[in-house]
Amino acid sequence: MMLTLRHFRISRHKMLAFLDELGAAREEAITLYVPSGVPQADVSAYVERVPGVESIRADLNREITSSQAGAVLFWGKTCKRLICPPFPQREKYLAGGYDTAPLRALLTRDFRIGIVLVRLGSYSIGVCEGETLVDHKTGTGLVHGRQRQGGSSAARFQRRRGEQAHHFLVRVVGHAEEKLAPHAKTLDYLVYGGARTTIRELRTHSRFMAQFDDRLLPPLLNIPEPRYEVLTHAVTDIWSCRVIEWREEPAGGKLT
Average pLDDT, the chain: 90
**pLDDT for res 15:** 98
- Average pLDDT, integer, range 218-243: 95
Burial of 15: CB neighbours in 10 Å, binned 0-12, 13-18, 19+: buried
Class of domain 2-108: alpha beta
Q: Residue 241 carries which side chain, given as an amino acid letter?
A: C
Question: Which has more confidence, 141 or 198?
Answer: 198
* Percent of the chain topping pLDDT 70: 89
**pLDDT for res 141:** 74
What's the pLDDT tens digit per position in 112-162? 999 999 998 899 999 999 999 999 999 987 565 554 555 455 556 566 666
Class of domain 112-238: alpha beta
- Per-residue pLDDT at 256 exceeds 50: no
Torsion of CA 83, 85, 86, 91, to 10 degrees: -160
* Percent of the chain topping pLDDT 90: 76
Residues 6+ apart with CB under 8 A from 60: 47, 50, 53, 73, 82
Positions of CATH 3.30.420.60 in the chain? 112-238
What's the pLDDT tens digit per position in 79-92? 999 999 999 999 99
Q: Residue 90 carries which side chain, given as an amino acid letter?
A: R
Enter the pTM of the model. Answer: 0.87
Positions of CATH 3.30.960.10 in the chain? 2-108
